[in-house]
Structure 1
Amino acid sequence: MSLRATPYNALVTAPTTQSADVCEVACVHPEAVVLAKSALPDERCATEATNFLKLLGDTTRLKILSALQTTELCVCDLASVVGISESAVSHQLRLLRTGRLVAFRKEGRVVYYRLADEHVTTLIRSALEHARE
């Protein structure tokens, strides 16, 4: 297999099979690869971000988080809003709390939940906006 340089500093090999969604030649652009690699997160950050996004991958949890964009709510309120049992809401909130997506405060015998920070709010709004387009 012979390699040849292109005007864009790419290394090109012999043509590959034809497909509309892949390159017609095996071609590596070294400068672009270096730039892309510099954008990769470290392993710890990638793992935490993946775990964070997995928590958003559940309809019930997304509904809970969406409801919490408006105001603090207790488990009873969230159960009424989302339409599931308090036990089910409590289970989902435990996962969201562990993942640092929600925070809580206790007032007497009532526990109020809120979104942990503005990052969570921004991500939820962006995801829903993307889904609506």
Structure 2
Amino acid sequence: MELAVEVFSMLADATRVRIILALRDDELSVNHLADIVDKTPAAVSQHLAKLRLGRIVASRQQGNRVFYRLENEHARRLVSDAIFQAEHSLEAQPRHHHPQREADQ
């Protein structure tokens, strides 16, 4: 239980959630992530270090650049489900319950 609470604690930061969303489908460099989340590369590196310690992201070095990717699909799913849960607090019938209606628009 304690480890699960630590995972939620690690994800309880908007910048880290944005980083995970950015890494959903792609491996990205620190500078590219910094551009996406609108933070400095130094700040993003600090968040990535925490995510790496928590084994949420993995890294590889290519020359002088470091690339990050999600370690597995679980963080992606946790963040997606958290966003879906948040939508429930905003709407009685959130959009994620109506994929057909979104496709028609």
How many residues are matched? Answer: 88
Q: Higher RCO, 1 or 2 (CA under 8 Å, sep at least 6)? A: 2
Distance across 2 between alignment mates of 1:79 and 1:130: 27
Shift of 1:132: 2.1
Return 5+ residue gaps in structure 1 as ranges. 1-45
Give 4+ residue runs of structure 1 displaced > 3 Å after superposition. none
How far did 1:122 drift? Answer: 1.2
Residue 102 of structure 1, CA deviation: 0.5
Report 1:15-54 matches (<5 A).
46-54=1-9
Q: Would you tell me which structure has more strand in proportion to its own residues?
A: 1
Aligned partner of 1:122: which letter?
R
Aligned: 1:127 with 2:82: yes
1:92 counterpart residue number: 47
Instruction: Please report the TM-score for the alignment, with normalisation by the length of structure 1.
Output: 0.63
CA distance in 2, matches of 1:83, 1:99: 23
Q: CA RMSD in A?
A: 0.9
* TM value normalised by structure 2: 0.80
Q: Distance in 1 between matches of 2:83 and 2:66?
A: 27
Percent same amino acid at aligned positions?
A: 40
